[in-house]
Structure 1
């Protein structure tokens, strides 16, 4: 039995089924996670190695290269990017997008564990981190005080952290921007020299006394006892009482040569909230939780915590992601409501009852699609909602066609049940074919490769789920409703709106169709000419990847010359803050000196510690699509006038992370040559219009003080070079002697430092002595001299080769692709030394990966649709006639996109792929009905003309409803959604108006052979 026949004859069952679909959707709506952006897995990891005291070249050769070689042996490695810095090596590896992330993590861990045994003994730590776009903070609080001590701020921040982590929806909370508390052992170097002791001896003794080795277990009769050893300090007094040396009669204790006290380590990261000293507390959310529910729980916990704040400390909310999510969902919800109203208005020609029946398919299809999205594990985010808005204009198409056909059968005099079953039966195969072709346009988008494909995946999935649900609704629930609701006494001409449309069809469309049929080759030739001319607009539009995110926040990165002190960088930060304080559009400033702001956006990652770096996270009062870009341009011009620093105003971007819109990489073995080539490229960039904020990491070499050791003399005196190096480090930066464990489980480092009142200076080194093998104290000045030396500030490597990336941003009004191509043309004319090459990074490189799958997606979509058409019609000619509408839609999409001033972006390309299925859907209705009329015995020209006039109304209504559903997205002026919506709208306009002439003409030129076809298509 056919589905439609079953539905008409089993009314109670259909009512229960409808209620079940609605209940599932409502349940999903209440439970589904709501996020600002899609959370998608990235098969990327970072290996972070800390090797205190090593310079970048030592880190490169002794740490980075062995790790790279080990990782390179793994399968499916896509990219290796490494940096070698002072005391720090970072290797980032990205695997192909299709790999099993957990399996690769296990393999990577195994390889790193194996290579760790071969690394230098001085390596302090190795960490393997998963790079997860979903691990972003949803709140950032600031504990603000200019009077409270950092110890008080730290304790208060940790109390708030504990309160947040007790919330069920919070995954992790972190505290930021205060000096690490430490148990400091300040050595009196002069006293040590008098006692013929070295700092290294003190270090060794404390390390040895602080080791807790498990003693095992013993049995005594029927009892078993664990033996606790005496290691590990439990109080400061124990440290003071530690014996360093003695001659049997008198012991020398730590208290005799040092002061032991609790103190704070160096302040390398300073935070300010609106200019006042602050400590930050952040929290991120567990996967699958509703951000609004989590934020409500956070608000309750924070309100209780605020009552316990110490005097002089205020608690400020610096960032709340739920506001961004609410703003985006509200805006899309407004568009969604407007789209429903527009869709309802376009249905009026069907009559109020018919329009009401079609509108029933909206909530049922949407709720069913939402339930499927929830069970598939996706969140409700800006892209999935955009998918629902796109689907809104499409999911009523099948219901319109079925309802309009049933109404036509009723006007012809059939009974309601008979009209519902026969009309649905007549159109069912065409409806199935239409929906299948539409789905085949979106399904390939689900398989787009790379992170860009993962980023947009929830959008086509929402369309596929919802449109599939609409097919089920249109062939089951709609016929049953129509048989009960549509008026039985409907006039043959319909209501006033329908009569008006029919007059327009007969008075305007029919004469144009006759003219086109009279000149078929001219009609096809003109449409082909329009298609060809539209492609001339593409170079003028340019290509782009993902646009800026419309969020009321942005970042300002400040970089002073390499080697700059934290004080110097802070002076520039002060000047930038003064400029920002005068901007009325700004709400809050969250400043970070020496470190990047904690992570609050999925494709932004905090900058590592650096004394020459600062970052300001700027909160605006509101985002305005016209005023906010103008504010950012004003700030860029103002900051360009600040000398001695690179200041970059950065907007948050949609899509996968990229280093900068423009990036040119140079690869080669020698650092000096790389520096020279980078300088030449930077000069080219500065002379190229449209380029701003150029960053060249090798612009300036770093000047260091190098300790030049007389190894021969040190050897004669019995002074190990290692002891000499460690003595210098103890005096300058301090040496860790292990951890002090408190009863509550917290642990803090025990740091040995030279006693001094200020930060270490050159004079600090003058009083250093090193112990010889015989116990004599040898002045450092007799074994080593200090000299200035140049060294690279950081060594970059890409895919196991040395490299440097010169990056920049694009001026407002310039196209990134055009500017990059201009630069690449200049690079091609440069003389390149042997073994050196260049390549494009930034948007060009990311677009190569992101757009690579579009060709495959288009091929799969077109050939999949062609296969469905051949299966449906059993004729290659019918298939070719239907597919002939594709170029017409592409023409309209390109023209409207160009007229609205948008480039050919990633989302615009998504729109073109979706358009293929949407426009073919309408052509199927026309060709299928023409075939039916010919099978009924009507002549070719009469069948073409009659089919064109009868099917024009449902085709027009489905196109107008699709346009109405997409119009709010197009008018939103969103650089993410609007290009996609405009492409589909433009394509539907051209394919509906021109295609309704070209498709009949192609049918006349290539009439299908229907001799083997059945007079009635099989139903359900």
Structure 2
């Protein structure tokens, strides 16, 4: 290594070219790196969807879901099978192991599912897809006092025009019902003309189709033949001939039926600021850039406004690109402030030129890392910027140690070249291995498991890249620059003010070392065992504070957003009109909330930007959800608030709580929840009850809900055990079989009359339009219509349905959830984290109530889901990888030190860094969260650097012949300045982020607090406790040597005495 350092010192052109390559490479790559709020993540899910239109959840479960579960169970790579059987749909989410071969698993699942031949005839083709997460960039709402068709047509027009831009590839229309052509024929007309639904549907299929006719080859060339008769519009179907009479006349469909070219018969009503609305969601996929897409959309909207119909509003209702810009601006601002503080700290302790060259290592390392971003697949995101921010103070640690040592030799009168080579070589081993230990500490962050784990890999990779290039800069580039700086001028020649400050700080530091630190070190040497006992006592006290919950831990903090949600669930079967009236109450309370929040503000300054109401479907939140919630009993109201900076720091969580208080009780509501979280790791409380006896599951769920309700801070409790819609169960009578009727005949004719017979599907533009034949709505609106239905026998006779079928009224389930083949009921709730934590509630429940319920209801098992499940997985993975990282750090310390015990002395700073991190959380008044643990894990590699530099210097002095105690005292005095500098730069580099009040960056504050305060506290440990431990270890080794030496001497004496005792006998024998 010294030869390589000397070569770069003697060849400044090579050093400058290396620096130029890193800087230019980063600047060239910067415009090409994609910008996004959060990095793309790969999911471990495969989704299977099978539509079974018109079927009840139990029919879906038995006819479709269970058959798929049985088919795919046991396939390699499958971890869990989550099933939801809903009305008309089977939705199965297959969770794979993290290390599973996803392509093979997808192929295997496809093969098994498509090999099933026993699905009911009415099911549609299964769709098997690998789940991918697309990032929403923007949502556009089109609203106005017009009809549904006009809104949807305008939305499709906007979609087509947007996708013409090469920067935009994914635009989907939301909250618009699918088109459908409904052909409604009364029973009277069917009977009058002797028709059936099947005959009408067959007539449509025969008349509406295109048939290729091959080709005609003539002397002039080849001509394609086509029979073109496909119908597309509703009015075209009116001319279809359904019956030819004996007299040659034809009966056309329009004569006996009403053809409605409209929308599917589903309950979906959306209002935006009081007007009917549809929405467009623009997403980013692949390598598309969020900011480029946003610019393209905004430019299009500016052009489109003038051509909109009168009264129609086209507004941006959600702009994730602005969130990205705000978060990036905040992080960049904190990074710049941190950089300035680091430079100032270095300038106080080092000569200005040395400080500037040491600080130059920050942009060089960052630009070098950016140059490799495209290679490793990283993007500029909130997470990668967080990595840059974390490394801001760490990245100069190695350069600070090198620069300080070079500066020390130069101030002693050594020439610049020799000082650069000797100073760098002297600390190269501890610096190199210190950086490697820091890299090792960030490895667990790259390999975190769970839904959130993939996000944090960008932080770890960014830090490791920066540290790699900082090592290159500190060992090769920095020595060359410091070796070739101009000779230091006298203080009179330098600018007096800067020099005066630097000299004052330097003198103060020398006095601090001479008058306070050195005398204290003498006491530490003398009372080293007491010092270690005090350190151990601090650890015990901190452990007691954690056990006593003085420091609260929660997995995922509440991340506030700018949107308030009120989610309403009414009983199954509730009409859309009733749900609509309930939603109106939420809108009224939302208006009262607006008045409260806007007190003292003008209309233009209102903190409420928009209000959106959806009945029949819940509003998407950009999270990964399977199945969704649709139906006339669901409603959701959304309030869009002004950005945090524009609403005067108003807390959105408190606003959601106020909205809850302003909302009167809604009769019959099963669930009403108010939230303001931007995103979460899942429900804070989500307990799954698994078993086969549904009645037992329901009773156990009720008991569990009642118990949870008694806990302070627990609110918005609900469970998934809900009665479904009323059902009429039809069974064929025995006497009907004598007429040739079967259960299938009965079910098919009832389905055709009330749900409809699908005649065909028409591809109309991008839309797949179903053509349905059914009774008019007036003839399928009551039980009387079912009772009056006439069933046709095989001979063509017609009999009343009551005479051939038994009808039993019942009620099924709204949704049947299953996990790994067992029915599941989930009990879910939220926790007010200012009062309680989910961890505390779940720990108490698991210890007391769950065992009692399990004892009362044999056959029922429990499992944690949602946030708790993800927490357990992430914590387990983090713990395993942290242990591995500690082993790697130990090895990296043991190799240069050539000792088994000295690495343990150095690593003793790690638990005290943990103590510092906890004290930092107490001082800042924030809870310990998972992000805090990530900072603590990273801290373990940072705090050992200073200890390594200290211990390595002690070893150097001892190798040069110095006695132990003088070597320890000298090492403390010599290494005091670089240790203090590296700790100060790390802390102050993170200080702006720790002090931020910006809501967009509060997510990252706990990580910065752990690292900053941990390093700060560990500095004192390094300067005092590590020397004490070093001496204690030496005491132990000397004691061991004396003990074993004494034993060896005693053994030799015994052997000699035995030999002497044997000698007289031998002589006498002679």
TM range (shorter): over 0.9
| Counterparts in 2 of 1:336 and 1:602: CA distance versus 1, 3 Å | farther
Deviations 1:533-585 (A, max 9, x none): 11122231343222233432243321112221211211121111221223233
Q: Secondary structure at the match of 2:184?
A: strand
Deviations 1:818-856 (A, max 9, x none): 011222222222333222112222322211101111222
Q: Secondary structure at the match of 1:613?
A: strand
Equivalent residues in 2 for 1:185-196 (5 A)? 185-196=183-194
Q: Contact 1:580 / 1:586 at 8 angstroms: preserved in 2?
A: no
**What is the match of residue 401 of structure 2?**
401
Equivalent residues in 2 for 1:230-309 (5 A)? 232-233=230-231, 239-250=237-248, 251-309=250-308
Q: Secondary structure at the match of 1:470?
A: helix
User: Are residue 612 (structure 1) and residue 633 (structure 2) matched?
Assistant: yes
**What is the match of residue 617 of structure 2?**
595
**What is the match of residue 647 of structure 1?**
672
Deviations 1:22-41 (A, max 9, x none): 11112232222222222210
Cα distance between partner residues in 2 of 1:46 and 1:554: 30
Equivalent residues in 2 for 1:414-813 (5 A)? 414-485=414-485, 487-489=487-489, 495-539=503-547, 540=549, 541-582=551-592, 583=594, 584=597, 585-598=607-620, 600-603=621-624, 607-623=628-644, 627-639=651-663, 641-645=665-669, 646-652=671-677, 657-658=681-682, 660-698=683-721, 700-742=722-764, 747-756=768-777, 760-765=781-786, 767-784=788-805, 786-813=807-834
Q: Contact 1:34 / 1:291 at 8 angstroms: preserved in 2?
A: yes
CA offset at residue 871 of structure 1? 0.7
Q: Contact 1:82 / 1:797 at 8 angstroms: preserved in 2?
A: yes
| Counterparts in 2 of 1:754 and 1:437: CA distance versus 1, 3 Å | same
CA offset at residue 707 of structure 1? 4.3
Equivalent residues in 2 for 1:83-102 (5 A)? 83-102=84-103
Q: Contact 2:720 / 2:827 at 8 angstroms: preserved in 1?
A: yes
| Counterparts in 2 of 1:878 and 1:39: CA distance versus 1, 3 Å | same
User: Are residue 1004 (structure 1) and residue 1031 (structure 2) matched?
Assistant: yes
Q: Contact 2:182 / 2:262 at 8 angstroms: preserved in 1?
A: yes
Mean Cα deviation higher: 369-378 or 967-976: 967-976
Report which of the two structures shows the higher radius of gyration computed on alpha carbons: 2
Q: Secondary structure at the match of 1:80?
A: strand
Q: Secondary structure at the match of 1:479?
A: helix
User: Are residue 107 (structure 1) and residue 117 (structure 2) matched?
Assistant: no
Residue number among 865, 870, 874 corresponding to 2:898 in the alignment: 874
Cα distance between partner residues in 2 of 1:58 and 1:746: 29
Mean Cα deviation higher: 643-652 or 675-684: 643-652
User: Are residue 966 (structure 1) and residue 990 (structure 2) matched?
Assistant: yes
**What is the match of residue 946 of structure 1?**
970
Report the TM-score, using the length of structure 1 for normalisation: 0.94
| Counterparts in 2 of 1:647 and 1:714: CA distance versus 1, 3 Å | same
**What is the match of residue 918 of structure 1?**
942
Cα distance between partner residues in 1 of 2:793 and 2:418: 108
Deviations 1:197-239 (A, max 9, x none): 2233322332344455555556567955554346633665663
**What is the match of residue 1044 of structure 2?**
none
CA offset at residue 997 of structure 1? 0.6
User: Are residue 335 (structure 1) and residue 343 (structure 2) matched?
Assistant: no
Cα distance between partner residues in 1 of 2:431 and 2:3: 14
CA offset at residue 358 of structure 1? 1.1
**What is the match of residue 379 of structure 1?**
379
Cα distance between partner residues in 1 of 2:750 and 2:533: 84
Cα distance between partner residues in 2 of 1:890 and 1:323: 36
Deviations 1:849-885 (A, max 9, x none): 0111122222111111111111101112322221222
| Counterparts in 2 of 1:604 and 1:509: CA distance versus 1, 3 Å | farther
Cα distance between partner residues in 1 of 2:766 and 2:718: 44
Q: Secondary structure at the match of 1:83?
A: strand
What is the aligned-residue RMSD (CA, Å)?
Answer: 2.5
Equivalent residues in 2 for 1:972-991 (5 A)? 972=996, 976-991=1003-1018
**What is the match of residue 1016 of structure 1?**
none
Cα distance between partner residues in 2 of 1:923 and 1:781: 89
Cα distance between partner residues in 2 of 1:531 and 1:746: 66
Cα distance between partner residues in 2 of 1:720 and 1:194: 25
Deviations 1:594-646 (A, max 9, x none): 11224x53446783322111223332112376622221222233347334322
Q: Contact 1:703 / 1:788 at 8 angstroms: preserved in 2?
A: no
Q: How many residues end up aligned between the 2 structures? A: 1002
CA offset at residue 985 of structure 1? 2.2
Deviations 1:885-916 (A, max 9, x none): 22221222222224434333221111111111
CA offset at residue 265 of structure 1? 3.0
Mean Cα deviation higher: 30-39 or 509-518: 30-39
Q: Secondary structure at the match of 1:611?
A: strand
Q: Contact 2:579 / 2:615 at 8 angstroms: preserved in 1?
A: yes
Q: Contact 2:91 / 2:627 at 8 angstroms: preserved in 1?
A: no
Q: Contact 1:594 / 1:613 at 8 angstroms: preserved in 2?
A: yes
| Counterparts in 2 of 1:56 and 1:781: CA distance versus 1, 3 Å | same
**What is the match of residue 495 of structure 2?**
none
Deviations 1:921-943 (A, max 9, x none): 11011001111111222111111
| Counterparts in 2 of 1:6 and 1:258: CA distance versus 1, 3 Å | same
Q: Secondary structure at the match of 1:752?
A: strand
| Counterparts in 2 of 1:889 and 1:179: CA distance versus 1, 3 Å | closer
**What is the match of residue 66 of structure 2?**
65
Report the TM-score, using the length of structure 2 for normalisation: 0.90
Gaps of 5+ in 2: 492-498, 598-606, 1039-1070
Q: Contact 2:142 / 2:277 at 8 angstroms: preserved in 1?
A: yes
**What is the match of residue 1015 of structure 1?**
none
**What is the match of residue 172 of structure 1?**
170
Deviations 1:693-735 (A, max 9, x none): 011121x423413043434343333445444434433443333
Q: Contact 2:339 / 2:392 at 8 angstroms: preserved in 1?
A: yes
CA offset at residue 447 of structure 1? 2.2
CA offset at residue 389 of structure 1? 0.5
**What is the match of residue 413 of structure 2?**
413
Q: Secondary structure at the match of 2:41?
A: coil
**What is the match of residue 320 of structure 1?**
319
Cα distance between partner residues in 2 of 1:735 and 1:360: 74
Cα distance between partner residues in 2 of 1:557 and 1:130: 29
Cα distance between partner residues in 1 of 2:864 and 2:290: 39
**What is the match of residue 182 of structure 2?**
184
Mean Cα deviation higher: 78-87 or 554-563: 554-563
